[in-house]
Structure 1
Amino acid sequence: MAKRYAVILAAGQGTRMKSKLYKVLHPVAGRPMLQHVIGQLNAIQPNEMVTIVGHGADDVAEYIDDNSRLVLQEEQLGTGHAVLQAEDLLKDKNGTTIVVCGDTPLITSETYRMLFDYHENVGAKATVLTARAPNPAGYGRVIRDERNEVERIVEEKDADDHERSVDEINTGTYCFDNKVLFDALQHVSNDNAQGEYYLPDVIEILQNRGETVGAYQTSDFEETLGINDRKALAHAETVMKRRINDTHMRNGVTLIDPDNTYIGPDVVMEPDVLIHPGCIITGKAVIQSDAEIGPHTEIHNCSVGQAALIRQSVAKDSYIGDRVQAGPYAHIRPETSVGSEAKVGNFVEVKKSSLGDKSKVPHLSYIGDADIGSRVNIGCGTITVNYDGNNKHVTAIEDDAFVGCNSNLIAPVTVGKGSYIAAGSTITDHVPEDSLSIARARQTNKEGYVSRIKNQKKD
């Protein structure tokens, strides 16, 4: 098989986005659109990939993996000029080069593969990826001759009325014979309305030389959508969300309301997971079988165990074990580990803590910087007081301990194995195992006090 190369055009400023964020870094399903393009190209394993950048090059470089080389287009003079920036890296190599736009995040690796295969099978020197557009306004038109072969591609600004009526559009994705591409680029002129060097002009140059020019038409116009403004970005988000959700449902996940369920592209879910409406699951989250999530739960970069139940809660960068119950309205913050069959109840916040198997924090508590053993019960209103104004300190609660309601555990402090903390206590010293610790003021009743105060006010 011939060697294959890829050139990604990502140098445009994207003024229609009206944003300080570089155009190709706008996210679709939580991932910059350029990363979608690179990821799909990586799936077909090109021998070499080059990304052409301009505005915001330093920011873009952070999102380009080692599989792509970065080339700067200092002055943006059109798509033909952009591809020419890769000349020093590619011009002398034999093979096929695909040219794609960095703002087309919906094109799949399968479409790229079929375009490559079609181009090479027909022996073309250039092949255009085309689509039928319901509303072709803004796109370059593919003009065919009486034999239904590509005659030329005309930009809308340079098209006449007849050409504008054509609904077959140029998606901006091409395959070229690599050496032929860089030779033809030397002959592209900027004699047009914009004074730019258009990559589609290579098609006409090759046709004038008698070379074979092909057109591979994809059946899915939405896949070829280019993102030029916020409206198109929102539409791409909808398409990507539907694509991701459909994949999970085909793999055995139940989404009760897929139109109102948001799942990131890197999320892994096993069969028989149940997702209620309003959930947002992003990052590298992994959710194991029989887990039930939601409604209205946000999970980011978490591992969720088998048969766990998380309702109306937020969990980030944490481990949640098998058969855990969390929520409603729990907040599991980063670096938390919740053991199997543990409970993080309503209005409980846990941060950078470990909660052992079968331990319970049922409601209205803050657990921060704590190491909690197994089978521990934390009463309502308990706080691990972890911050002294300068540093964070750890609270350790050993296996089988019982902490009564409205207790303050002033870190650093250890509650020994099997110990009890009386309700309302403020614990400042270590508690030995198998002990009862009471740390509260003795109750004093002053009878008749309220009446005396009221009488003083009347006088």
Structure 2
Amino acid sequence: MRSPLPKALMPLCGKPMLWHVLRKALSLKAKKTVVVAGFRADLVKRLVGRSAEVIRQKRLLGSGHAVSAAYGALKGFKGRVLVLYCDTPLVSRRSMETLLGRHTNGSGVTLLSARLEDPAGYGRIRRSGTGAVEGIVEEKDASEAQRGLNEVNVGAYVFDSQKLFAALKSVSLNPLKKEYYLTDAVGILAREGLAEAVPAPGGAEESLGVNTRLDLAKLGMRMQDEVLKEFSEQGVVIRDPRTTVIDAGVRIGEGTVVQPSTVIEEDSVIGKGCVIGPFARIRGASRIGDRSVIGNFVEVVRSVIGPDTIIKHLSYIGDARIGRGVNIGAGTITANFDGKTKHVTVIKDKASLGSGTVLIAPVTVGRGAKTGAGAVVPKRQNIPDGGVVAGVPAKVLKKARDKRRGGRE
């Protein structure tokens, strides 16, 4: 992959590849979840946190060796063990449930299969004349006849725990790759008549894996389609799926319209009935309140925006806390970075900013306050509630102040 990151942490639709697999696995509510990590196991442990136990594979000797590394964590456990690969993140929760449901007492292994028009690169499932699973042969070890088989191993299994670790003890080092294959354990159980292959409910797409950057990009596009489909089913209007990018982990409320060429990233949350875009970008776990508008060429980062707020044109909103019913004029900038540190801008309820306003953080705009077009508000020069400022640098307008006090011109 030509990356300083382990494959498990390569980004896919805005999240590490492992995140997608682990999220589905954790939803099954297993008695225990174990992640086996090799290269940069420290980074994997940081991602996983307390959601699962991370076991370090000290020597990278293949999939069979990786599963053997989990023996200590599962010692004494008697039951079903679901084994998943981090680089096949399209395996669905439905497929996992299907495997668990099909695996009966007395079975050794139930594995997920798919039939591909072009099975190149995949391990082929060998069957007897009666259809029984005889084993899995990896492509590098396959004969020409075996390479003609089109039923492939997807890379998801349910094993009987005791039979799994007993079979792994009999697996030999592959002479070509110098690795211990988990698929050889499947072969051992198959020879005992204890293996079954189940078609993936989602079809061939679930078998797609990642070995190259191009694979990652292709998989990302397919996963993006799934994310957009899910939002559509939840009542979100996606005007142009071809140009819309929404990360996994983002949340969007019912009735929100996402206009073309919009990017929503990094666990951001959009409320109900909003309009986002076109050409908008929301990132940094920003929060957008119900019925708000984030219009064309607006970027929002690390900000919280209250309900019924309008930011329609050409604005940068960074590290801001914006209240309810605020109107942000075209070209408004929250200048949050002073060259060393990023600072917060606070804009209270019902404030109104004129076009081209620049707010130099840290600064606060009071409730119902207004800025004139092109105003530059210096840092710490807070605008009081109901205040009106204009100019460069912005100053309180006496006329507005006198009117507020009931004075005369």
Given the two structures, how large is their TM-score scaled by the length of structure 2?
0.91
Segments of structure 2 that go 5 or more residues without pairing to the other structure are: 337-343
Alpha-carbon separation, structure 2, partners of 1:135 and 1:99: 25
Partner of 2:169: 186
Partner of 1:404: 390
Alpha-carbon separation, structure 2, partners of 1:341 and 1:63: 38
The superposition leaves residues 213-263 of structure 1 with CA deviations (integer Å, 9 ceiling, x where unpaired) of 111111422223211111111111111111111111111111110121111
The superposition leaves residues 155-199 of structure 1 with CA deviations (integer Å, 9 ceiling, x where unpaired) of 001101111011111112211100110111111011442232111
Task: Tell whether 2:79 aligns with 1:79.
Answer: no
Task: Tell whether 2:333 aligns with 1:349.
Answer: yes
Alpha-carbon separation, structure 2, partners of 1:275 and 1:385: 34
Are the equivalent residues in 2 in contact too, given 1:91–1:178 (CA < 8 A)?
no
The superposition leaves residues 341-361 of structure 1 with CA deviations (integer Å, 9 ceiling, x where unpaired) of 211222211241221222111
Partner of 1:286: 269
Partner of 2:195: 213
Distance apart, 1:153 and its partner CA:
0.5
Distance apart, 1:305 and its partner CA:
2.0
The superposition leaves residues 94-144 of structure 1 with CA deviations (integer Å, 9 ceiling, x where unpaired) of 001111111222222222111111113x74211111111232111100111
Distance apart, 1:308 and its partner CA:
1.3
Are the equivalent residues in 1 in contact too, given 2:108–2:195 (CA < 8 A)?
yes
Match of 1:259 among 228, 239, 242: 242
Q: In structure 2, give the amino acid aligned to 1:371.
A: T
Alpha-carbon separation, structure 2, partners of 1:246 and 1:35: 20
Partner of 1:58: 42
Alpha-carbon separation, structure 2, partners of 1:20 and 1:70: 20
Task: Tell whether 2:2 aligns with 1:18.
Answer: yes
Are the equivalent residues in 2 in contact too, given 1:99–1:175 (CA < 8 A)?
yes
Please show how residues 75-154 of structure 1 align to structure 2 within 5 Å: 75-120=59-104, 123-154=106-137
Are the equivalent residues in 1 in contact too, given 2:370–2:388 (CA < 8 A)?
yes
Partner of 1:244: 227
The superposition leaves residues 385-440 of structure 1 with CA deviations (integer Å, 9 ceiling, x where unpaired) of 22xxxxxxx2321121111233346xxxxxxxxx62689xxxxxxx9x8599xxxx
Partner of 2:13: 29
Give percent identity, aligned residues only.
Answer: 30
Are the equivalent residues in 1 in contact too, given 2:88–2:155 (CA < 8 A)?
no
- Please, what is the CA RMSD of the aligned residues? 2.1
Are the equivalent residues in 2 in contact too, given 1:29–1:264 (CA < 8 A)?
yes
Are the equivalent residues in 2 in contact too, given 1:91–1:179 (CA < 8 A)?
no
Distance apart, 1:364 and its partner CA:
1.5
Given the two structures, how large is their TM-score scaled by the length of structure 1?
0.81
State the structure with more CA Rg.
1
Partner of 1:176: 159
The superposition leaves residues 2-25 of structure 1 with CA deviations (integer Å, 9 ceiling, x where unpaired) of xxxxxxxxxxxxxxx112222111
Segments of structure 1 that go 5 or more residues without pairing to the other structure are: 1-16, 387-393, 410-418, 424-430, 437-459
Alpha-carbon separation, structure 1, partners of 2:190 and 2:87: 28
Match of 2:148 among 161, 165, 176: 165
Distance apart, 1:40 and its partner CA:
0.8
Alpha-carbon separation, structure 1, partners of 2:186 and 2:326: 65
Change (3 A) 1:421 1:297: farther
Are the equivalent residues in 2 in contact too, given 1:52–1:82 (CA < 8 A)?
yes
Match of 1:223 among 182, 191, 206: 206
Partner of 2:341: none
Task: Give runs of ≥4 in structure 1 deviating > 6 Å.
Answer: none
Q: In structure 1, give the amino acid aligned to 2:83.
A: V
Alpha-carbon separation, structure 2, partners of 1:192 and 1:173: 24
Change (3 A) 1:384 1:283: same
Partner of 2:340: none
